[in-house]
Copies of this chain bind each other. A is one copy, B any other.
Amino acid sequence: MTASDPRRQAANREAVRRMSAARPVLVEVLPAGDVVPGMTGSTILTSGPPLPWPEYHGGQRHAILSAAVYEGLAKTLDGADAALGSGAITLAATHDHGCVGSVAGIYTASMPVFVVEDPDTGVRGFCNMYEGESRKRLNYGVFDDDVRAGLDFLRDDLAPVLADAVRRLGGVPLTPLISRALRMGDELHSRNTAATTLFLKHITPALLDMAAAGAAPAARTAFDFLAQSDYSFLRLSMAASKVSADCARDVAYSSVVTAMSISCREFGIRVSGTGDVWHRGSLPDVDCQLFEGFTPEDIEWMGGESHITETTGLGGFAQAAAFPLQHYQGGDAAAMVEMNTRMYDITVAEHPEYLIPYLGFRGSPVGIDVFRVLDTGIQPVIDGGLAGRGGGQIGAGILRAPMDCFTAAAEGWTRRYGD
**Residues of chain A having any CB pair with chain B under 8 Å:** 183-185, 193-194, 197-198, 200-201, 204-205, 207-209, 211-212, 216-217, 219-220, 223-224, 227, 323-324, 326-327, 332-333, 357-361
Contact = CB atoms under 8 A, between A and B. Distances in A.
Contacts of A359: 333
Given A323-B358, A358-B358, A200 B204 contact: yes
A224 B201 CA distance: 10
Given A194-B194, A326-B360, A360-B333, A209 B200 contact: no
A208 B183 contact: no
Given A184-B185, A185-B183, A333-B360, A216 B208 contact: yes
Chain A interface helix/strand/loop/mixed: helix
A211 B205 contact: no
Please list the 7 inter-chain residue pairs (A to B) with the smallest Cβ-Cβ separation, ordered nearest first: A212-B216, A211-B211, A323-B357, A183-B324, A184-B184, A184-B185, A324-B357
Nearest to A325: B357
A290 B292 CA distance: 50
Given A216-B212, A360-B326, A205 B193 contact: no
A208 B220 contact: yes
Contacts of A326: 357, 360-361
A201 B207 contact: no
Contacts of A332: 360
Contacts of A217: 212
B223 A204 contact: yes
13 contacts: A184-B324, A194-B197, A197-B198, A201-B227, A204-B207, A204-B223, A205-B223, A208-B208, A212-B212, A212-B216, A323-B357, A326-B357, A332-B360
Nearest to A203: B204
A327 B200 CA distance: 27
- Most chain B beta-carbon contacts within 10 A, residue among A204, A219, A220: A204
A232 to B, nearest CB: 12
A312 B224 CA distance: 33
A198 B194 CA distance: 9
A183 B216 CA distance: 32
A200 B194 CA distance: 13
A324 B207 CA distance: 30
Contact of A220 (B200, B205, B216, B327): B205
A360 B327 CA distance: 9
A217 B185 CA distance: 33
Given A185-B184, A323-B357, A224 B205 contact: yes
A216 B223 CA distance: 16
Contacts of A227: 201, 204-205
B327 A361 contact: yes
A193 B194 CA distance: 10
Given A185-B357, A212-B220, 18 more contacts: A183-B185, A183-B193, A184-B184, A185-B185, A194-B197, A197-B201, A200-B201, A201-B227, A204-B204, A204-B223, A208-B208, A209-B216, A211-B211, A323-B357, A323-B358, A326-B357, A326-B360, A333-B359
B194 A223 contact: no
Contacts of A327: 361
A317 B205 CA distance: 35
- Most chain B beta-carbon contacts within 10 A, residue among A208, A217, A224: A208
A333 to B, nearest CB: 5
A358 B197 CA distance: 22
